[in-house]
Chains A and B, each alone.
Chain A
Amino acid sequence: MDKHGPAVSRLVLLKHKASRRTDWAVVIATAVPAAFLGLFFFYPLGSILERGLTQDGGLDFPSDVFFSHETAQIVWFTVWQAVVSTVLTLLAGMPLAWATARVRFRGRGLTRALVVVPFVLPTVVVATAFLTLLPTGLQRGVVPILLAHVFFNIAIVVRVVGGYWSRLDPRLWDAAATLGASPARRFRELTLPALRPALSAAAALTFLFCFTSFGVVVILGGPTRLTLEAAIYDEAARAFDLRAAAALALIQLAAVAAIVTVSSRLEARAGLVAPLTSEQAAAHSPSHRERVALVASLFGGALLLGAPLAALAWRSIETPDGIGLTFYRALGRETPALLVPPWHAILNSLGYAAAATLIALTIGGLAASVIARRSAGWLDTAVMLPLGASAVMLGYGFVIGFDTAPLDFRGSFWIVPVVQSLVAAPFVVRLLAPALRAVDPRLREAAAVLGAPPARVRREIDLPLALRPLGVAAGLAFAIALGEFGATVFLARSDHPTLPVAIFRFLGRPGAENQGVAAALCVMLMAVTTAAVLATERLAARHGAL
């Protein structure tokens, strides 16, 4: 006892010291993203709540806004367009999901890569594309909104459902066939139930994105077709009724929370648990009939996804005096639509997006390093939340949260990249956490035993091994930041517009000249985004992720 007592207590003490020493890095890696989210996500949302629910220091429930006829109409439109958009997206996406999952054909990888491009295209670009594609009578209203939503979200169906489908063991279908089930019967009784987890996940995500749709709705909807998101913007930025905007934001917040809860419940209810296999085994060379279906799916997909973009490109060179670069030359000139020549917007966008990427990688990377090494569920949830909360609300929250000292950041350059990074960070975490988790812990131990202190281990082992996913995450974050519109439109200063904001301003002015310049700006934005995404896909293909 005498011999061991002091030794043991000293040991306990030293162990305590040792654990505290290693914990500091984790504390910082946890505290920085947590503080960032607290200041730039939860605080602005809290500001909205405060603005919506209080007046003159007292609690004031904005029941006049809540129960008005207009609000009911807005909620109704928001819901039904989201439902219809989701159903249409599923229907349009299934053939492509089947083709890329089940059939072996040349260009399968390329198809999968190209399908993602529309998903990261800026909403204003897509909206402008449909504006130029559709005949004058159909340009504004429900039809173009639904089409644009399908265009955007088809990637979710193809990648989520297709990714799952490609791993279902085909022998199950062979067995059903030998038992006398016709192809239609096999689809109804095997394929659909087996795909249910993936289908409900894709449907939930699509519904959420359509429910909170903003850019598409403001540009294609016209004054009578408003989603909640667009109505918040209308009240806050056009009517300057901040109280009404806050009240609508509360409804939106409750609705998004409800959607996320319901969809995660639905996903938890397991469908048919089908045996999974490797992707190689699941795909087969197409039969004659399948070849027809394949060509039809690919052609339909190409038409749906390619036509609007082609129309946009055409519009940007189709000038009143014939084919030419007039609209591109106009990017260098002063214009009444903006305070600066349009080409400034390109530089602004690149600068903001680069800064946003840096922030998103820092915050997302730190969060991912914590999430990967220990189960930090709350941090995981907190980082993912901005994805569910809408961009317009974030932007509006920034406007009312950061307009007074000591938190007066409204004039700062950083306010735009910060809000954009909030939207991009969830994607960074989703890419990096699995990559870091996949690093064999024994590699870190081997490095430690060879004399590397903890910080050196992170630099020499974790960082190099996560470099590729980090590159992929950077590309994606950059594309998302480039196209971010809902929050940026609130925060970008008039003398410092981003590309999406500039496009929006041009679209808001009459005349073929303005529409043409908007199209030219769209083409520039599309080119930069596509380049970022394709670079990302190439990295991902080599890495085998995404």
Chain B
Amino acid sequence: MLSLVDLGVSFDGTRALAGASLDLQTGETLALLGPSGCGKTTLLRVVAGLQPPASGRVMLDGDDLAATPPHLRRIGLMFQENVLFPHKNVAGNVAFGLRMAGTSRGETAERVRELLELVGLPNAAGRTVQTLSGGEQQRVALARALAPAPRVLLLDEPLGSLDGPLRERLLDDLRTLFDRLGLTVLYVTHDVGEAFAIGHRVAVMKAGRVVQAGTPDELWTGPADSWVARFLGIRNVFTENDRCVVIRPEAVRVVAGSAARVVAAERRGAVVWLRLHTEDGRELESATTATDHPVPGATVGIEIDPAGVVEVPLED
């Protein structure tokens, strides 16, 4: 339903967007993933109408939005942090978009109540925004963005200012909410884990361009090039001449033998990451769920599952 065609934006001669294209299906959550400065935020601002593109088109339900100012687009946007209206309380913030749409008072009050319930803050209506914690602020911001029933919801690193467990919980809540409401969502993040967790599909951006889009599994098993593979967190990317081979860490199995030495073993949740030094001087990473994994200093053998080895183009 949302199509971005060949978008270009420049700031003082620097290209923030260089022909970015993307398609969103109705009811889909698409995570837009990329390092900071790759143009993700600019792309969101173009879609919202806050930044006019120098070239390209934004199409929504078949209409070109070029002439539609932001307040008529019915596209919701949630910022990274703390952009609640400081002079309005929680209910006043959530009601803002409804008032702009000319919703009646009674209906507005009812919608505000529903939305605050939906985001898990049923009793916050009368609170001032300054008394909210970071997580609560983002929940209110979400309710505010959802209130006028936007056709597409854009989120710009909505969890960027939150930490640890709070982040996990809110991410969970967001995913559940998006699916339950059948929302069409474009979710910007620089965090691979977050993108894989929330996105039905993930689009990877690099230097103002979308370089790959697909389901998390598709990206993981078939990264478009060596840069994408590395960005997704795969360390086993080997280039020789103009060929590039990617070996996924879970395809590297540690067995008895003496082909490599364990340099480091690091547990992250259910998975243990082993850093290996091979005899021929390569660094190799292995992911295992075993609890009886070898310790640093041990000498081990290596088996590689051929299904986990892909040859990819070199990055341009």
A residues adjacent to B (C-beta < 8 A): 7-8, 10-11, 14-15, 17-18, 21, 440, 442-443, 445-454, 456, 460-461, 464-465
CB distance from A375 to the nearest CB of B (A): 15
Which residues of chain A are near B148, meaning CB under 8 Å? 450-451
Residue pair A449, B100 in contact (C-beta under 8 Å): no
Residue pair A451, B100 in contact (C-beta under 8 Å): yes
Residue pair A449, B70 in contact (C-beta under 8 Å): yes
Query: Considering the complex of A and B, which 10 residue pairs feature the smallest CB-CB distances, nearest first?
Result: A451-B100, A450-B97, A448-B70, A14-B67, A449-B77, A464-B87, A442-B83, A14-B66, A451-B71, A453-B71
Residue pair A465, B87 in contact (C-beta under 8 Å): yes
Which residues of chain A are near B193, meaning CB under 8 Å? none
42-87 of chain B: CB within 8 A of chain A: 48-50, 52-53, 55, 57, 66-67, 69-77, 79, 83, 85-87
Q: Does B139 contact A (CB under 8 A)?
A: no
**17 additional A-B residue pairs with CB within 8 Å, beyond A10-B66, A11-B57:** A7-B57, A8-B55, A11-B53, A17-B67, A18-B67, A21-B69, A446-B79, A448-B49, A449-B48, A449-B49, A449-B70, A449-B71, A450-B97, A450-B147, A451-B71, A451-B74, A453-B71
Residue pair A450, B67 in contact (C-beta under 8 Å): no
Which residues of chain B are near A449, meaning CB under 8 Å? 48-50, 70-71, 73, 75-77, 145
Count of residues in B whose CB is under 8 Å from the partner chain: 31
A-B contact pairs, 23 of them (CB 8 A): A10-B66, A11-B55, A15-B52, A15-B66, A17-B67, A18-B69, A21-B69, A443-B85, A443-B86, A447-B85, A448-B49, A448-B50, A448-B70, A449-B75, A450-B71, A450-B100, A451-B71, A451-B100, A451-B101, A451-B148, A453-B71, A456-B71, A460-B96
Q: Does B144 contact A (CB under 8 A)?
A: yes
Which residues of chain B are near A8, meaning CB under 8 Å? 55
Given known pairs A442-B79, A446-B83, A447-B96, the reply for A453 and B69 (CB within 8 Å) is yes
Residue pair A452, B71 in contact (C-beta under 8 Å): yes
CB distance from A91 to the nearest CB of B (A): 44
Given known pairs A18-B52, A445-B50, A445-B77, the reply for A451 and B83 (CB within 8 Å) is no
Checking B57, B71, B75, B83 against A443 with a beta-carbon cut-off of 8 angstroms, the contacting residue is: B83
Residue pair A451, B97 in contact (C-beta under 8 Å): yes
Contact mask for chain B residues 81-106; partner A; CB cutoff 8 A; 1 contact, 0 none: 00101110000000011001100000
CB distance from A207 to the nearest CB of B (A): 41
Contact mask for chain B residues 146-168; partner A; CB cutoff 8 A; 1 contact, 0 none: 01100000000000000000000
Select the residue from A440, A445, A446, A461 with max chain B CB neighbours within 10 A: A446
Complex-state Cα separation, A445 to B75, whole angstroms: 12
Given known pairs A450-B96, A451-B71, A451-B148, the reply for A461 and B85 (CB within 8 Å) is yes
Minimal Cβ-Cβ distance residue in A for B45: A445
Which residues of chain B are near A11, meaning CB under 8 Å? 53, 55, 57, 66
Minimal Cβ-Cβ distance residue in A for B80: A442
Complex-state Cα separation, A454 to B69, whole angstroms: 10
Complex-state Cα separation, A442 to B86, whole angstroms: 12
CB distance from A440 to the nearest CB of B (A): 7
Residue pair B57, A445 in contact (C-beta under 8 Å): no
Which residues of chain A are near B57, meaning CB under 8 Å? 7, 11
Complex-state Cα separation, A67 to B85, whole angstroms: 63
Minimal Cβ-Cβ distance residue in B for A445: B50
Which residues of chain A are near B53, meaning CB under 8 Å? 11
Complex-state Cα separation, A453 to B75, whole angstroms: 14
Which residues of chain B are near A452, meaning CB under 8 Å? 71, 96, 100
Minimal Cβ-Cβ distance residue in B for A15: B52
CB distance from B144 to the nearest CB of A (A): 7
Minimal Cβ-Cβ distance residue in B for A447: B96
Complex-state Cα separation, A448 to B76, whole angstroms: 10
Minimal Cβ-Cβ distance residue in B for A8: B55
Which residues of chain B are near A453, meaning CB under 8 Å? 69, 71
Minimal Cβ-Cβ distance residue in B for A453: B71
Contact mask for chain B residues 115-141; partner A; CB cutoff 8 A; 1 contact, 0 none: 000000000000000000000000000
Complex-state Cα separation, A14 to B49, whole angstroms: 13
CB distance from A377 to the nearest CB of B (A): 20
Residue pair B87, A445 in contact (C-beta under 8 Å): no
Which residues of chain A are near B96, meaning CB under 8 Å? 447, 450, 452, 460
Complex-state Cα separation, A301 to B53, whole angstroms: 61
Complex-state Cα separation, A448 to B45, whole angstroms: 12
Which residues of chain A are near B85, meaning CB under 8 Å? 443, 446-447, 461
Complex-state Cα separation, A21 to B71, whole angstroms: 14
CB distance from B29 to the nearest CB of A (A): 19
Minimal Cβ-Cβ distance residue in A for B85: A443
Complex-state Cα separation, A17 to B50, whole angstroms: 15
